[in-house]
Amino acid sequence: MNPDAWDSIKQLGWWANFGIEGVDMRPAITCFIGVLLCVALNRTTEYFTGTEYGPVKGCVKNCKTGHATNIIEGLAVGFESAVWTGIVLCVAIFASVMIYSNTNNAIFIAYGVAMCGIGMLTLTGNTISMDVFGPVADNANGIAEMGYETKVLGEAKYKEARQILADLDAVGNTTKAVTKGVAIGSAVIAAVSLFASFITVIGSGGQGETSRCRWPCSITWPAF
């Protein structure tokens, strides 16, 4: 091991090694940040798409007052959701950068952001399960629309069954939106990591990790 790297690990604070010399918990911490990011994106998307929360209720209310108010409310909710999602992503990226900020090395900082993305991938099973539920609920509602007859079920039973399936369809749409929020977040983290890798390659003159690149990297652009 590089002696400088070993000395750097031994000088880590208690938050990075839990008081055990030679232990480096920074990769695990950045992974945990990714897990928290995934949960935060789930909650943020659920708030803006769930039928029991204010944004959707506001859209429902404005649907009753006309097309113009409906469009304005929908745009406002969409822009607000994008702002809060951006804030959540920026906080996670900033936290991952700060974990490795004492290294003064762009490669390590990019590694911390990449580990944040790995942390998001630890919840892939949960995300795929929610992703599957959306189409199942949609198909159930569609089959019911084609198969139910008012004369056979009766007016009261027909309305009750349709309402149950409509609620199920709404939940399926929410879970589908939640998985899209996680996908967008993971794409942002991956893009930041790839861009940092690009800067590293350019700053090292194409030598990549074989050349030492201090933060911020000095980039020499080729002459065209």
What is the pLDDT, as a whole number, of residue 35?
A: 94
In this structure, of 39-43, 90-94, 97-101, 203-207, the range with the lowest mean pLDDT score is: 203-207
What is the pLDDT, as a whole number, of residue 143?
A: 79
Supply angle C-alpha 67, 80, 131, rounded to 5.
Answer: 90
Most confident of 15-24, 83-92, 97-106, 173-182: 83-92
How high does pLDDT run on average in the chain? 80
Cross-strand partners of 214: 105
Beta strands, E only, the chain: none
Above 70 in pLDDT, residue 140?
yes
What is the pLDDT, as a whole number, of residue 3?
A: 52
Question: Tell me, what amino acid is at 62?
Answer: N
Q: How many residues does the chain have?
A: 224
Q: How far is residue 221's CA from residue 198's CA, in Å, rounded to a whole number?
A: 13
pTM: 0.77
